[in-house]
Amino acid sequence: MMNQAGRKPRNSLGDISVLYVSVLMRAIAEEGHDAAALMERFGLTSETLTSPDARISIPRFMRLGQAAIELTGNRAIGLTMGELTRPVDAGIAGLAAQCAPTTAGALATLIRYSLLTSRNSRGAASTTGNGEQAHFYSIRPYNVFNYFVVDSVLAAWTRFVRIISGEHRALERVTIEYPSIGLDDAFEAWFACPVQFGARHNQLILAPGVGSLPSRQAQPAMYASLTRQCDEALTRIRGGWTTGDRVRDLLMPLLQGTTPSLDTVATRLGTSPWTLQRQLAEEHTGFRELLDDTRKDLAGDYIRETRNALAEIAWLLGFANPAAFHKAYKRWFGISPGEHRKQFHEEQTRKGIR
């Protein structure tokens, strides 16, 4: 996705607000460890954490989370993060959501404006059933670096629902994509409901009647004012997008395991393939060019910023097999992906960057 000046963001895989880093730091302290040492290791300062517009890349946040797990020994630190999360930790979206009239409406509002604090190439969170079910997109393949991301998101949503509704047993069921890591009892105790691992989706479902409960912090005037500000902020984010930007934004989550077609993307944009081709031609680009450029941008960041196996990256970019990815990577960068990763890590080591 391009910014308004037409420049590629620093990391095409996505970034999040330092608001979430602050929650992780509180969780480390809650576990009885020195969060300051980890901040220094990752080059984070108090000024960074108090800057309202500061963000860090998704890969860096995942490495930070894994380091926190190694430091604390708590593989379920995402649940600790959820317990310590407040509505304000979601920024203006959290403030607006808590003012909604009902619990389901509050959860739907929180998730509707999540782009204001989090952008991920893998997809976007969503709700169905008038806010009764909340869905977190797939971040497969799963590993020790991203389990906690799913945990912390679902736990933060749960904590939010508990605050808004006043009900501790607020959920009917939680489903998690990644397989059990042997902490099933701890998860079911924290969520206070059945938790299914190895499921098709990451989601939580509100218990019957909870969604219709009045929000304990409902404030109609503030809800109207704050949601208007959220809408204006979303408009500013998307205001400079070209048709090509919107295509790239759709392509990234669609790539996983397949090559999206022009017809599929046109349908998602609510237009015809011919009209989409014409609009892209007016911007001096085309669908195949955008597909190739999007794969190139993502490939470079996956190689530099993650430890995903090359076969996993090939799948994430929609290549038929690792050999096809290897060939495309050499065309893009003039070097194999494995050698490129090795060179990058050697350079980081020389610079003392972790």
The average pLDDT across 167-190 equals 97
The average pLDDT across 3-11 equals 46
d(CA 149, CA 163): 21
What is the pLDDT, as a whole number, of residue 241? 87
Q: Rg (Cα) of the chain, in Å, rounded?
A: 21
Q: Which of 26, 72, 68 is nearest to 49 (CA)?
A: 26
203-212 exposure pattern, b = at least 16 Cβ within 10 A, e = fewer? bbbbbeebbe
d(CA 198, CA 182): 12
pLDDT higher than threshold 50 for residue 111: yes
User: Using one digit for the tens of pLDDT, what is the confidence trace for 262-282?
Assistant: 999 999 999 999 999 999 999
Q: Can you give the length of the chain in residues?
A: 354
pLDDT higher than threshold 50 for residue 2: no
- The single residue listed with the structure tokens 């090795």 is 342
d(CA 48, CA 70): 23
- The single residue listed with the structure tokens 């380091």 is 67
pLDDT higher than threshold 80 for residue 86: yes
Confidence of residue 10 (pLDDT cuts 50, 70, 90): low
Please list the residues that pair with 136 across neighbouring strands.
Answer: 202
Pairing type for strands 171-176 and 195-197 reads parallel
d(CA 275, CA 326): 33
Q: Is the pTM of this model over 0.85?
A: yes
